[in-house]
Protein backbone atom coordinates (compact mmCIF):
# COMPACT_ATOMS: atom_id res chain seq x y z
CA UNK A 1 0.00 0.00 0.00
CA UNK A 2 1.33 3.44 -0.83
CA UNK A 3 -1.84 5.47 -0.87
CA UNK A 4 -4.54 5.89 1.74
CA UNK A 5 -7.35 3.39 1.32
CA UNK A 6 -10.67 3.00 3.07
CA UNK A 7 -10.23 0.94 6.21
CA UNK A 8 -10.84 -2.77 5.79
CA UNK A 9 -11.17 -3.82 9.42
CA UNK A 10 -9.48 -7.23 9.09
CA UNK A 11 -6.50 -5.82 7.19
CA UNK A 12 -6.14 -2.85 9.53
CA UNK A 13 -6.22 -5.19 12.55
CA UNK A 14 -3.41 -7.25 11.03
CA UNK A 15 -1.31 -4.11 10.62
CA UNK A 16 -1.98 -2.97 14.20
CA UNK A 17 -1.04 -6.42 15.50
CA UNK A 18 2.38 -6.24 13.77
CA UNK A 19 3.47 -3.71 16.40
CA UNK A 20 2.22 -5.52 19.53
CA UNK A 21 4.89 -5.83 22.25
CA UNK A 22 7.39 -3.73 20.29
CA UNK A 23 8.76 -0.34 21.25
CA UNK A 24 7.09 1.99 18.78
CA UNK A 25 6.64 5.68 18.15
CA UNK A 26 3.11 7.03 18.06
CA UNK A 27 1.76 10.16 16.47
CA UNK A 28 -1.77 11.09 17.55
CA UNK A 29 -3.48 14.24 16.39
CA UNK A 30 -7.03 15.51 16.63
CA UNK A 31 -8.24 18.85 15.42
CA UNK A 32 -11.11 20.84 14.11
CA UNK A 33 -8.36 23.38 13.51
CA UNK A 34 -9.26 26.89 12.57
CA UNK A 35 -12.08 25.37 10.51
CA UNK A 36 -14.58 25.82 13.33
CA UNK A 37 -14.11 29.53 13.94
CA UNK A 38 -13.93 30.38 10.23
CA UNK A 39 -17.52 29.24 9.81
CA UNK A 40 -18.95 29.93 13.26
CA UNK A 41 -17.43 32.69 15.37
CA UNK A 42 -18.94 31.12 18.51
CA UNK A 43 -17.26 27.75 17.90
CA UNK A 44 -14.23 26.62 19.86
CA UNK A 45 -11.07 25.37 18.24
CA UNK A 46 -9.97 22.10 19.78
CA UNK A 47 -7.09 19.79 19.09
CA UNK A 48 -4.44 17.51 20.53
CA UNK A 49 -1.02 16.70 19.13
CA UNK A 50 1.49 14.09 20.26
CA UNK A 51 4.51 13.27 18.09
CA UNK A 52 7.02 10.47 18.64
CA UNK A 53 5.64 9.23 21.95
CA UNK A 54 7.63 6.05 22.61
CA UNK A 55 5.35 3.27 23.85
CA UNK A 56 4.83 -0.46 23.82
CA UNK A 57 1.28 -1.75 23.58
CA UNK A 58 0.12 -5.19 24.62
CA UNK A 59 -3.11 -5.30 22.62
CA UNK A 60 -4.64 -3.38 19.71
CA UNK A 61 -8.28 -3.37 18.69
CA UNK A 62 -10.11 -1.68 15.83
CA UNK A 63 -13.91 -1.52 15.88
CA UNK A 64 -16.56 0.26 13.87
CA UNK A 65 -18.18 0.07 10.48
CA UNK A 66 -18.83 2.12 7.40
CA UNK A 67 -16.67 5.22 7.50
CA UNK A 68 -15.95 5.61 11.22
CA UNK A 69 -13.59 3.36 13.16
CA UNK A 70 -12.06 3.47 16.63
CA UNK A 71 -8.62 2.15 17.51
CA UNK A 72 -7.49 1.39 21.04
CA UNK A 73 -3.92 0.53 22.00
CA UNK A 74 -3.62 -1.10 25.45
CA UNK A 75 -0.53 -0.02 27.36
CA UNK A 76 0.72 -1.54 30.63
CA UNK A 77 -0.69 1.41 32.54
CA UNK A 78 -3.34 2.91 30.26
CA UNK A 79 -4.70 3.35 26.77
CA UNK A 80 -4.20 5.31 23.59
CA UNK A 81 -7.48 5.80 21.77
CA UNK A 82 -8.44 7.39 18.45
CA UNK A 83 -11.95 7.71 17.03
CA UNK A 84 -13.22 8.80 13.63
CA UNK A 85 -10.61 7.01 11.52
CA UNK A 86 -11.65 6.08 7.99
CA UNK A 87 -8.51 5.51 5.91
CA UNK A 88 -5.11 3.90 6.31
CA UNK A 89 -1.92 2.98 4.54
CA UNK A 90 1.32 1.18 5.21
CA UNK A 91 3.98 3.40 3.70
CA UNK A 92 7.31 2.40 2.17
CA UNK A 93 9.03 2.88 5.56
CA UNK A 94 6.70 0.35 7.22
CA UNK A 95 4.81 3.03 9.12
CA UNK A 96 1.08 2.54 9.69
CA UNK A 97 -0.76 5.77 8.93
CA UNK A 98 -4.44 6.11 9.80
CA UNK A 99 -6.63 9.19 9.35
CA UNK A 100 -10.16 10.52 9.42
CA UNK A 101 -11.35 13.54 7.45
CA UNK A 102 -14.46 15.71 7.48
CA UNK A 103 -16.88 16.04 4.55
CA UNK A 104 -14.63 18.62 2.91
CA UNK A 105 -11.55 16.36 3.18
CA UNK A 106 -9.89 18.23 6.04
CA UNK A 107 -7.96 16.21 8.60
CA UNK A 108 -9.85 15.61 11.85
CA UNK A 109 -7.86 12.76 13.41
CA UNK A 110 -4.59 10.96 12.72
CA UNK A 111 -3.02 7.92 14.37
CA UNK A 112 0.38 6.78 13.14
CA UNK A 113 2.61 3.98 14.42
CA UNK A 114 6.25 3.37 13.52
CA UNK A 115 9.26 1.39 14.75
CA UNK A 116 11.41 4.46 13.97
CA UNK A 117 10.78 8.09 14.94
CA UNK A 118 8.64 10.15 12.60
CA UNK A 119 10.46 12.88 10.72
CA UNK A 120 9.47 16.48 11.33
2-23, pLDDT tens digit by residue? 689 999 999 999 999 999 999 9
Tens-digit pLDDT profile for residues 57-75: 999 999 998 889 999 999 9
In a domain, 36, yes or no: no
Closest of 70, 111, 95 to residue 19, by C-alpha: 95
Least confident piece of the model among 23-27, 29-33, 51-55: 29-33
In this prediction, residue 114 has a pLDDT band, given cuts at 50, 70 and 90, of very high
Domain of residue 88, residue span: 7-27+42-56+80-108
Residues 92-100, mean pLDDT to the nearest whole number? 96
Whether the pLDDT of residue 39 is over 70: the answer is: no
- DSSP structure string for the chain: --S-EE--HHHHHHHHHTTTTS-EEEEEEEE-TTHHHHH-TTPPP-EEEEEEEEE-EEEEEEEEETTEEEEEEEETTEEEEEEEE-EEEE-TTS-EEEEEE-TTS-EEEEEEEESSPPP-
In a domain, 2, yes or no: no
7 vs 13: CA distance, rounded Å: 10
Closest of 52, 51, 47 to residue 30, by C-alpha: 47
In a domain, 51, yes or no: yes
Top pLDDT among 102 and 11 is at 11
In a domain, 85, yes or no: yes
How many CB atoms are closer than 10 A to CB 78? 10
How many domains does the chain fold into?
A: 1
In a domain, 64, yes or no: no
In a domain, 11, yes or no: yes
Closest of 59, 62, 56, 79 to residue 13, by C-alpha: 62
Residues 107-114, mean pLDDT to the nearest whole number? 95
pLDDT for residue 37? 54
In a domain, 17, yes or no: yes
In a domain, 74, yes or no: no
pLDDT, mean over the chain: 90
Amino acid sequence: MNVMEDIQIDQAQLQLDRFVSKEVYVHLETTNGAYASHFDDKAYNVGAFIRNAKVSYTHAKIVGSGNAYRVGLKLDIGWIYAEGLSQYELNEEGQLLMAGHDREGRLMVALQISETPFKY
